């Protein structure tokens, strides 16, 4: 337990930041799951919309520092492959 006022503040800030980062990561996973479902359904329009939504979210997460830029690049690449694979199958 912190004894110094500044340390107490840092504990509060870290807890708040942890929650915010969790929100970014959780939403990114949800959007990826929705993209997978759209690909499985075979709806090209829905797949494209979900892919665009995911990429925008990942870019914002990287800009905020919630996700590392290499992690974002990897996830965007995976999503692009998934989307391209679904359109190639048609």
pLDDT in tens, the chain (90 residues): 889 999 999 999 999 999 999 999 999 999 999 999 999 999 999 999 999 999 999 999 999 999 999 999 999 999 999 999 876 655
What's the CA gap between 25 and 15, in Å, rounded?
Answer: 15
How many CB atoms are located within 10 Å of the residue 9 CB?
A: 11
Number of domains the chain is built from: 1
- Domain range for 49 is 5-89
CATH code for the domain in which residue 49 is found: 1.20.58.110
Whole-model pTM over 0.75: yes
């Amino acid at each position: 337990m912190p004894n110094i006022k500044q340390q107490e503040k840092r504990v509060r800030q870290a807890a708040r930041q942890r929650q915010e980062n969790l929100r970014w990561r959780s939403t990114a996973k949800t959007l990826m799951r929705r993209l997978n479902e759209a690909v499985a359904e075979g709806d090209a329009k829905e797949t494209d919309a979900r892919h665009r939504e995911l990429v925008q979210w990942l870019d914002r997460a990287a800009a905020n520092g919630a996700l590392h830029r290499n992690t974002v690049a990897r996830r965007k690449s995976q999503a692009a492959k998934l989307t391209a694979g679904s359109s190639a199958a048609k």
